[in-house]
Structure formats: structure tokens, C-alpha cells
Amino acid sequence: MKKLMLAVFAMSVVFGFGVGNASAQMMSGDGNPMVGGAAMYKNKDIIDNAVNSKDHTTLVAAVKAADLVETLKGKGPFTARQITEIAEAFAYAHELGMATILWCYLRNNKFKTDEGDMHTAADLTGQANHLGVTIQADIIKQKLPERNGGYNSLNLAGNPTYGKTNKLVYEKLTTDNPIDLVRYQVANCYMGRCGLINSGGESKGESDLADAVRTAVINKRGGGTGLISGRKAFQRPFKEGVDLLNAIQEVYLSKKITVA
């Protein structure tokens, strides 16, 4: 029962349909959770575990750049416990035939730079998506990207080792078109193997219906799988909220709106 409660809490949202038994892939021979192809040892902190995983070199570089090594190697509360428990919760949820949805929002005051708020940068949100699917979230919820170049901005802000990137990422792999930016997020969800749903954002009043439809079209054309809309729908009269949700549904049901 304790594990079941943890699974529901960590995932925030679960659906009761079969997704296959992934628990065998999530545990090493000695019972430790597998993340990024490497065992996450319960007797090691998050730093030592991340160093052993080839999929977390960017995470390690970011932690060092932010001078968080000593903090995360401390006794708490920032230890390997959190990511280990979430990985275990997801594995247990899969064992029960449940799907897992993970909110992968960014939270860092340093992401607000002179070039803009990088909390919605495609490259940084894409990395968050990758971490989410690595611990086997089935669906990722992410903010709609509004810009790119988050790594470049943070590196120029005095953190040259924040993360490795290449100019070809921005010159060849993406453009500033919002559909391309969503496509970059989808690519970081194992090329769309794990679904990406974008959030509808806060309610802004009269423009909510148009904003919701625009976000849904961008998400669908970029290869995403859906849109979550809460405040835009529920913070208004019942009929208006229903009409907004129906408009979003029509985007995903339409055969004329396809992947770009």
C-alpha cells in the first residue's frame, strides 16, 4: 500500500490501462533501479550515481556549474532518494498496468536571462523531457516552447560548463518556427516513442480560446500527442469552458491538421 501511494503521488496522474511489464528493465540484478542504462545504487548519492550513467553527463556538468555538488552529496534533503523513489514508483505502476505522466517543468531563477526567460527554451525543456523518459515516464507534460538557445544563453552568462551543445543544433536541426521547437521537444522524448503533451498555460481572458487552439495545432503539427488545459477552461462560465475544450478536441480529431 505504501508503494502504491508513492506511485500515485509521484506520477500526479495515472491511467488504468496496460503498458507492458517494464519492471524487469528498471531493476538491476541486485535490485537497484536502472536509469539511463546504469544502476542507481541506494547507498550512493545522486552525484555518484549520475557520474556512472553515460546518459547524465549534461546533468553532472550542470550541477558542477551551479556549484551544487556539495549540496547534493549531503545527507539531505537533496540526495538520490527522490529520483530513486520516482523510478521505483514508475516501475511499480507499470507492474500494475498503469501509465505514468510526469510534469517536467524547469525551475531555476538563473534561467531568466537578458535574452529572455529560458524556462520555455526548446533545448532546456528538451533535456528535461529526456530525463523524464529515461526514468520511464510514458507521457511527458511540458510547457510550449517559445524560444531556443537556452544552453547558449546560460553559457554566455558566466557558466561555460553548464552544458554541451553545438551550433549545428540551432542551424540545422531546428528553426525558430514554433512547430519546429515542439518537434525538438518530441525528439527528446525518444523521437516521440513517449508522448508529449503541452500545457495550455494560464488564463489571459478573451484570447484563451484562440490561444488554446493555436497551442493544440502547434503541438499536433510538431508530433505531440495532446494538450492539457485546466485554468483556461475551468476559470470561466461552464458553457465557455466546454466550448474551449471541444475546440481543442476538434483540432486532434481533424484529419486536415497533420504532422508538418
Q: What does the pLDDT look like over 7-53, one tens digit per residue?
A: 333 333 333 222 333 333 456 667 777 776 777 787 777 778 887 77
Please give the residue that has the higher pLDDT: either 53 or 257: 257
pLDDT digits (tens, 9 = 90+) for 135-189: 999 999 999 999 999 998 887 755 566 677 888 888 888 899 999 999 999 999 9
Is 131 in the same domain as 159? yes
Give per-residue burial for 78-92: e unless 16+ CB within 10 Å, then b. Answer: ebbeebbbbbbbbbb
What is the domain extent for residue 213? 200-260
Is 181 in the same domain as 211? no
Is 121 in the same domain as 29? yes
Please give the residue that has the higher pLDDT: either 172 or 3: 172
CA distances from 99 to 11, 85, 188, 200 (A): 9, 16, 19, 21
Is 58 in the same domain as 160? yes
Distance CA 109, CA 247 (A): 35
Is 161 in the same domain as 173? yes
Please give the residue that has the higher pLDDT: either 203 or 197: 197
Ranges of H-type helices in 96-237: 122-134, 150-156, 167-168, 178-187, 208-221, 231-234
Say which residues have a Cβ less than 8 Å from residue 53's Cβ, sequence separation at least 6: 35, 36, 37, 38, 40
If one counts the domains in the chain, the total is 2
Q: How far is CA 91 from the centre of its chain?
A: 18
pLDDT digits (tens, 9 = 90+) for 58-103: 777 767 766 667 766 766 555 566 777 888 899 999 999 999 999 9
Q: How high is the pLDDT of residue 128?
A: 93
Is 24 in the same domain as 146? yes
Task: pLDDT band for 230, please (50, 70, 90 cuts).
Answer: confident
Is 54 in the same domain as 170? yes
Helix (H, G, I), strand (E, B) or coil at 198: strand
Is 107 in the same domain as 213? no
- The last residue of one of the domains, among 165, 183, 199, is 199
Nearest to 153 by CA among 109, 111, 107, 104: 111
Q: Count of CB atoms within 10 A of residue 8's CB? A: 14
- The last residue of one of the domains, among 146, 176, 199, is 199
Is 182 in the same domain as 246? no
Is 149 in the same domain as 259? no
Is 190 in the same domain as 245? no
Query: Is residue 44 annotated as a catalytic residue, yes or no?
Result: no
Question: How would you class 119 by CB atoms within 10 Å of its CB: exposed for 0-12, middle for 13-18, buried for 19 or more?
Answer: buried
**Considering 44, 141, 143, 232, which one is annotated as catalytic?**
141
Is 219 in the same domain as 129? no
- The last residue of one of the domains, among 172, 199, 226, is 199
